[in-house]
Amino acid sequence: MTATTREDTPVVLEGGGVEVRIKEAGGDMSVAFLHLPEGTDMGPALKGMPGDLCQCPHWGFLFKGRIRMRTAAGEETYEAGQAYYWGPGHAPEALEDTDVVEFSPTAEFTEVIDHVKAQMG
């Protein structure tokens, strides 16, 4: 893949207004378009992972909204217009309706998505 759009990227997870679209981008990396409605807390869906936190690193850009990122070291808030790196060991909570695009190692991200799907039942 050399390019994709949100619309051309398959939905791999949805429910409760959450939408996650992921497409392998090559080089063992994937691109994801995520929409998290205000109030979405991914913490419960990450229960059972090491530290009950996402263990996949993500590099991305926040197009809309605000996210509180909880880690073992504390919390940070990110807002629209910011590029970010979230290392392993985090759990996001959408403080507003949020849209991001991010790049992540495919194998690690697939493991997290599979875990979240299993938690959703």
- List the chain domain ranges: 1-35, 37-96
Q: How far apart are CA 115 and CA 2, in angstroms?
A: 28
The answer to whether the beta carbons of residues 91 and 12 sit under 8 Å apart is: no
pLDDT tens for 45-62 read 999 999 999 999 999 999
pLDDT in tens, 64-86: 999 999 998 999 999 999 999 99
33-43 pLDDT tens trace: 999 999 999 99
Contact indicator for 31, 9 with CB cutoff of 8 Å: yes
pLDDT the model gives residue 99? 98
**What pTM did the predictor assign?**
0.92
Distance of CA 23 to the CA centre of its chain: 13
- At 112, phi and psi to the nearest 5? -65, -45
Residue 119, pLDDT score? 87
